[in-house]
Every structure is written in structure tokens, then in C-alpha cells.
Amino acid sequence: MYNWIDALADLQTRGEPCVLVTIIEELGSTPRNTGSKMVISATQTFDTIGGGHLEYKAMQIGREMLASGRQDTHLERFSLGASLGQCCGGVTVLLFEPMGQVQAQIAVFGAGHVGRALVPLLASLPCRVRWIDSREAEFPDQIPHGVRKIVTEEPLDEVDDLPAGSYCIVMTHNHQLDLELTAAILKRNDFAYFGLIGSKTKRVKFEHRLRDRGFDSTVLQRMRCPMGIGEVKGKLPVEIAISIAGEIIATYNANFGQHTASAGSSIAKLLPASRRSQALN
């Protein structure tokens, strides 16, 4: 059986999400000491925090977090008495930390210069990428891990297969194809982010044509064009790619860190009264 650290490394190498569970506080008689850890994946567990019903409940919580895609950490206090089916009589506080969760499902339409600079950046993030183009020769020989290359004569058909909440990036070699992809993505209107490469002039032209097709201003406002962080200047493919990747990160991390301000008080509330003053000092 793997110990927790080997299991965590193996799962992260394979890109499989998991939850790391740590005993962060103990009081009285408990099956394992503070610092004991276990790793929970969708189908397996590695190492132990003491077995019994405590571990069973931890597995339930961990797999619920995996199924829901939950990204934030979670604290829970357990009294090891009759209600939990254990007779230790002590108290344990567990910290649940999601690891390797995918932050964004991204579809990149276009394997041109900017696409070839952007996709490796996205692949280095906690993302899964579909890279779509009709031109096989435009793709590099080595496709980054976590990227699915899709060569198709009908890139437009791929829009229907995207999961809801996808991040969509359109940067093809064909102006008309960009327009058709834009219309298909906006028609679905269930994306988390949609960026279209181009200038303000291109946006004006596209908005005019899309209004003629019946799209209203509310939907059109969801389109990022020009896309990317405005403060990142430059016209080199890698500069544009960094700007776009930064905007992607800013989008999926919009609420990053908001829970940390109350973390200390949350831990204190879970501890027995005799330990709260120590946690707050």
C-alpha cells in the first residue's frame, strides 16, 4: 500500500484529482496523532487516519468534494463517541485539501502562432485543454500533457461537444470561421469565459453582423475582444499568449483567498473550548 506522500505524487503525475486529509488537532483518546494523513481519490484510499467509522466518514466527505469539483479546503470536527460508532472518546479535527482539481475546461480553436504559444502555458495550469484545428501540419510534434489535439474539417461541430462552463478561445486562421464559431458559442451562452482574438475594429464588425443574426447586447457583452490583460503590452505571440493566460487565471481565481481571512476563527470554533485561546494566539 502506498504511503500518502507517494500516492499524492503518483496521482498528481497522472493528473487525477484527490483530497488530502490531515488530522490537525486531537484531544483525548484518538486512533492517530496530529499530522497523520491519508489520500482519497475517486476510487481508492491511501494511508490511514485511524480506520473505523471516522475514516469512513472522511472518505465520504472527500469523495463528495471530488464529485462536486470543490476547490476550497474544508475543516470538520469529530467526537469519537457512540454517534460515530467509535469508543475512543476523544475529539479529532480533520483538514480536507483538494489536490489536482481541474480549474477550467478550455477549448482553443486555432493552432497558429499565438495558439502554439498559448497552449503550453494553459497546459502548465490546472486545466484540461482541447486544441482544435483543421490543419494537422500546424500542430507541433509534441503535444503537452493534459492537451487533447483535435484535427477536424469541421471545427464548428466541436462547439456542441463542449461541457457547460467551458472556457472558449477563438483564434483561427479564417475570419469567417471565427465569426461562425463566435455565433455558435454565444448561442449556447453557457460558457465561463469566451475570448476572440482581434482588435476593437474586429469586435465592432462582428457585433454588427451578430446583431443582424438576432443576438442582443447582453449576450454580446460576454465576448472578450480584444482579449487578454490590457496591461500586458506587446505583439509577439508569446506576449499575447501570456496576456490571455493571465486573463484565464484571473477568471477562474476570481474568489481566490476569500476564505483565508476567517480561517483562524473557523479552526477555533471547531476546537474544544480549552484549546480555542491557543489557536487564536
Give the model's pLDDT for residue 26.
Answer: 79
Q: Is 58 in the same domain as 161?
A: no
Give the tens place of pLDDT for each residue, 53-90.
Answer: 888 999 999 999 988 878 788 899 888 754 544 555 57
C-alpha cell, 190: 453557457
Give the tens place of pLDDT for each residue, 205-247.
Answer: 999 999 999 999 999 999 999 999 989 889 899 999 999 999 9
Q: Is 29 in the same domain as 145?
A: no
Domain span including residue 32: 4-101+256-276
Is the CB of residue 167 less than 8 Å from the CB of residue 116? Answer: no
Give the model's pLDDT for residue 25.
Answer: 84
User: Phi/psi at 19 (nearest 5 deg)?
Assistant: -125, 130
Higher pLDDT, 146 or 153: 153
**pLDDT above 50 for 259:** no
Contacts (Cβ under 8 Å, ≥6 apart) of 268: 276, 279, 280
**What's the CATH code of the domain at 143?**
3.40.50.720
Does 140 map to a domain? yes
Does 131 map to a domain? yes
Contacts (Cβ under 8 Å, ≥6 apart) of 261: none
**pLDDT above 60 for 276:** no
The number of beta carbons lying within 10 Å of the beta carbon of residue 228 is 22
Per the structure, the count of domains in the chain is 2
Q: Is 83 in the same domain as 201?
A: no
Give the tens place of pLDDT for each residue, 18-62.
Answer: 999 999 887 866 777 889 999 999 999 999 988 888 889 999 999
Q: Is 120 in the same domain as 204?
A: yes
Give the model's pLDDT for residue 1.
Answer: 53
Give the model's pLDDT for residue 281.
Answer: 45
Q: Is 21 in the same domain as 33?
A: yes
Q: Is 114 in the same domain as 221?
A: yes
Q: Is 108 in the same domain as 247?
A: yes
Spatial distance between the Cα atoms of 66 and 36, rounded to a whole number of angstroms = 21
Does 281 map to a domain? no
Measured CA distances, 103 to 94, 161, 167, 240, 254 (Å): 24, 19, 10, 21, 11
Q: Is 183 in the same domain as 79?
A: no
Spatial distance between the Cα atoms of 116 and 52, rounded to a whole number of angstroms = 51
The number of beta carbons lying within 10 Å of the beta carbon of residue 63 is 16
Write the single-letter amino acid at 21: V
Spatial distance between the Cα atoms of 62 and 41, rounded to a whole number of angstroms = 8
Spatial distance between the Cα atoms of 58 and 108, rounded to a whole number of angstroms = 38
Give the model's pLDDT for residue 249.
Answer: 94
**pLDDT above 80 for 111:** yes
Residue 197: band (very low, low, confident or very high) from pLDDT cuts 50, 70, 90: very high
Spatial distance between the Cα atoms of 244 and 178, rounded to a whole number of angstroms = 17
Question: What is the chain's mean pLDDT, rounded?
Answer: 86
Write the single-letter amino acid at 174: N
Higher pLDDT, 132 or 235: 132
Does 119 map to a domain? yes
Q: Is 122 in the same domain as 247?
A: yes
Tell whether the torsion through CA atoms of 66, 70, 74 and 79 is positive or negative: negative
C-alpha cell, 254: 476570481
**pLDDT above 80 for 257:** no
Q: To 5 degrees, how large is the angle CA 134–CA 137–CA 140?
A: 110
Residue 256: band (very low, low, confident or very high) from pLDDT cuts 50, 70, 90: low
Higher pLDDT, 139 or 52: 139
Does 172 map to a domain? yes
Spatial distance between the Cα atoms of 99 and 4, rounded to a whole number of angstroms = 13
Q: Is 158 in the same domain as 236?
A: yes
Q: Is 178 in the same domain as 85?
A: no
Q: Is 56 in the same domain as 82?
A: yes
The percent of residues above 90 in pLDDT, for the chain, comes to 60
Does 148 map to a domain? yes
**pLDDT above 60 for 169:** yes
Does 62 map to a domain? yes
Does 232 map to a domain? yes
